[in-house]
Chain A
Amino acid sequence: MNEIIETGQFSEKVFKIVVYAPRIARSRKPGHFIVLRTDENGERIPLTIADADVKKGTITLVVQKAGVSTTKLCNMKPGDKIADLVGPLGKATKIKKIGTVLACGGGVGIAPLLPIVEGFKKAGNRVISVLAGRSKELIILEDQIKKWSDEVIVMTDDGSYGHKGVVTVGAEEVIKREEVNECIVIGPTVMMKFTALLTKKYNIPTQASLNTVMVDGTGMCGACRVSVGGKTRFTCIDGPEFDAHQVDFDELILRLGGYKEEEKRAYNAYLENQNK
Chain B
Amino acid sequence: MEDRKERRNQEWRKELRLKTKGKDRTSIPRAEMPMMDPLERVHYQDREVNTGLDLNTARQEATRCMDCVNPECVTGCPVNIDIPSFIKNIERGEILKAAGVLRETSALPAVCGRVCPQEKQCEAHCFYLKKLKKPAVAIGYLERFAADYEREHGVAEVPEIKKNGIKVAVVGSGPSSLSFAGSMVKKGYDVTVFEALHEIGGVLKYGIPEFRLPNDIVNSELENLEKLGVKFEKNFLVGRTSSFEDLKEEGFKGFYVASGAGLPRFMHIPGENFNGIMSSNEYLTRVNLMNAAKDEFDTPVFKGKRVVVVGGGNTAMDSVRTSKRLGADRSMIVYRRSMNEMPARLEEVKHAQDEGIEFNTLTNPIEYFADEKGHVSRVRVQKMELGEADVSGRRRPVPIEGSEYDIETDMVVVAVGVSPNPLVPSVLPDLKVSKRGTIEVNEETMQSSVPELFAGGDIVRGGATVILAMGDGRRAANGMDQYLTEKYGK
Contact = CB atoms under 8 A, between A and B. Distances in A.
Nearest to B275: A258
Given A220-B264, A225-B266, A215 B282 contact: yes
A222 B278 contact: yes
Contact of A254 (B197, B272, B275, B296): B275
Interface centre among A220, A234, A237, A258 (most CB of B within 10 A): A220
Contacts of B282: 215, 221-223
B240 A69 contact: no
Given A88-B241, A215-B299, A222-B266, 5 more contacts: A42-B298, A84-B234, A226-B273, A251-B273, A263-B300
Contact of B235 (A68, A85, A88, A223): A85
B445 interface: no
A223 B236 CA distance: 21
Interface in B215-251: 234-237, 240-243
24 contacts: A23-B236, A27-B241, A27-B242, A41-B298, A43-B298, A43-B299, A44-B299, A69-B298, A87-B241, A215-B299, A218-B196, A218-B423, A219-B262, A220-B206, A220-B263, A220-B264, A223-B278, A223-B282, A232-B273, A234-B263, A255-B273, A255-B374, A258-B275, A258-B374
A88 B275 contact: no
Given A41-B296, A254-B275, A258-B275, A221 B264 contact: yes
A79 interface: no
A72 B240 CA distance: 27
Given A27-B242, A220-B281, A87 B237 contact: yes
A37 interface: yes
A229 interface: no
A27 B422 CA distance: 19
Contacts of B124: none
B298 A216 contact: no
Nearest to B295: A269
A218 B418 CA distance: 14
Contacts of A197: none
Interface string B191-208: 000001110000000100
Smallest CB-CB A-B distances: 10 pairs: A254-B374, A258-B275, A221-B282, A262-B300, A84-B198, A43-B299, A220-B262, A86-B235, A222-B279, A43-B298
A257 interface: yes
Contacts of A87: 237, 240-241
Interface in A24-69: 24, 27, 37, 41-44, 68-69
Nearest to B237: A86
Interface string B279-292: 10110011000110
B300 A89 contact: no
Interface in A88-113: 88-89
Nearest to B239: A27
Contact of A255 (B275, B281, B299, B423): B275
A47 B272 CA distance: 26
B81 to A, nearest CB: 30
Nearest to A90: B240
Given A219-B422, A220-B421, A223-B282, A83 B275 contact: no
Contacts of B436: none
A257 B272 CA distance: 16
Contacts of A227: 273
Interface string B352-373: 0000000000000000000001
Interface in B415-445: 421-423
A86 B236 contact: yes
A169 interface: no
B276 interface: yes
A88 B278 contact: no
Contacts of B237: 86-87, 89, 218
B131 interface: no
B212 to A, nearest CB: 19
Interface in B7-33: none
A27 B243 contact: yes
B278 to A, nearest CB: 7
A40 B369 CA distance: 37
A215 B198 CA distance: 12
Contacts of B374: 254-255, 257-258
B240 A222 contact: no
